[in-house]
Structure 1
């Protein structure tokens, strides 16, 4: 089932034995477009801590059709994100300070603590390169001193392929023949936890319209300039099937959209 990522920000997070905080952000891999972590703000329970929850530990979301009203899941009925963990497990997880960069070493420590599989899930984007990013050797040198230095570097530098939804939301999007607009949301799959579509607001170019583009269209991302280049034209976007945000599960509409742009399907 597809859901709007922004609709979960700020939602309460419940462990099996009680409240643990609220959703602060989601971190995704910029090669596989998979959500790798949910970042939880634990408030006064674990002050100053950054808690990472892997998607495989998140229970199926309650995304009833009644919640799907504009503007995409922002209703008074706030969904609860349940995780298959206990408060004791979360409290004993590897310590990471709030707002510290998430390093590969930090991710490895969290995977080891919970016994989670770094290769969990499948991806439709760059599967051969990113099936298991943490299974790549972190240390390549055989020299013991160099190994120690590299290990310390991995502890202090953030994973360069891990991106924040909150940070990327709002990036400008450029077609091959001009600006399209800016990213207003991501649509993700709550089973596989991959980002299926970028929701683009075109109000500066095509007032009142929103379009959805799959990551298949993304040519490259300029992280320093905060913009995304896509391999489509404005005319292609204008002539694409109309998008209805109230019909996130319309597979017929998805197939039409993918045929229009020449994208592969998502397993259908």
Structure 2
């Protein structure tokens, strides 16, 4: 199942000992385009603090109740490292992982490194990534909200803007952009573009280059609100863009 980014930002997180807070945003990494942290607003005042929660801690998502249940406690979250303001440093990520005893997602071949989404071992020893820090000084994760509205282009020809994400509920990979083409294409519509088709991202000018043609986009199937993306529809989408899954 695919999650919409804007669904997540309306959900409430509950720990093993009660409500932690509401999801206000997410952070993803720019290499794998995977949600690494949910930003949870604790408290109900303007001065409420924010804390990060890893998708690895999620035990269950109840879409009907708009609730995310995690296998950590409210107390743990309150005492977790403060993320402060942007940008999020790799050193903070290491501190976060050590606190929750998580394997760093950037070490290993999987989307979550040596960890999995289905087997989180809270009793595992600390995993130090000091040796990896020097190689990743320029690495950063990005706030999802900031990417909403980014232009998408084919050979510098803009064809739409990012309107939403479709996120794999099992791995939390951002699989597709929901792209609004209304201002750029005749009879504009919303279409799906896979993050696997990214050629380049120019963060400084908020633009993402995609390896498809303008004609393919104009003839692409329209993505309607809350449309279920079945395996067959997904296969047809990739065939339309002449891409192999």
TM-score normalized by the length of structure 1: 0.76
Which portions of structure 1, spanning 4 or more consecutive aligned residues, are displaced by more than 6 angstroms? none
Q: 1:79 to 1:137 in 2, by over 3 A?
A: same
Kept in 2, the 8 Å contact 1:171–1:183? The answer is yes
Using a 3 Å threshold, how does the CA distance of structure 1 residues 121 and 84 change in structure 2: closer, same or farther?
A: farther
Q: Give the gaps of 5 or more residues in structure 1.
A: 65-77, 141-153
For residues 161-200 of structure 1, what are the structure 2 equivalents within 5 Å? Answer: 161-176=140-155, 178-200=157-179
Pick from 127, 133, 136: which aligns with 1:138?
A: 133
Structure 2 CA distance, aligned partners of 1:7 and 1:164?
Answer: 16
The yes-or-no answer on 1:259 pairing with 2:245 is no
Aligned equivalents of 1:259, 1:122: Cα separation in 2: 26
Partner secondary structure for residue 59 of structure 2: coil
- The superposition leaves residues 86-109 of structure 1 with CA deviations (integer Å, 9 ceiling, x where unpaired) of 112112212333x34311111111
Q: CA RMSD in A?
A: 2.8
1:96 & 1:90 partners in 2: Cα distance?
A: 12
Match of 1:114 in 2: 100
Aligned residues: 227
Provide TM-score, normalisation by structure 2.
0.82
Q: Which has the higher strand share?
A: 2
Post-superposition CA distance 1:12-69 (Å, at most 9, x none): 2211211111111111111111111111111359x564311111112332236xxxxx
- Which among 91, 106, 121 is matched to residue 78 of structure 2? 91
For structure 2, which runs of at least 5 residues remain unmatched after alignment? Answer: 114-126
Query: Cα 1:121–1:260, aligned 2, differ >3 Å: closer, same or farther?
Result: same
TM-superposed CA distance for 1:112, in Å, is 0.6
Partner of 1:73: none
Cross-structure match for 1:232: 212
Residue correspondence of structure 1 range 53-132 to structure 2 within 5 A: 53-63=53-63, 79-97=66-84, 99-119=85-105, 122-123=110-111
Report if the CA contact (8 A) 1:32-1:123 is conserved.
yes
Indicate the residue corresponding to 2:117 in structure 1: none
Which structure ranks higher in relative contact order (CA pairs < 8 Å, sequence separation ≥ 6)? 1
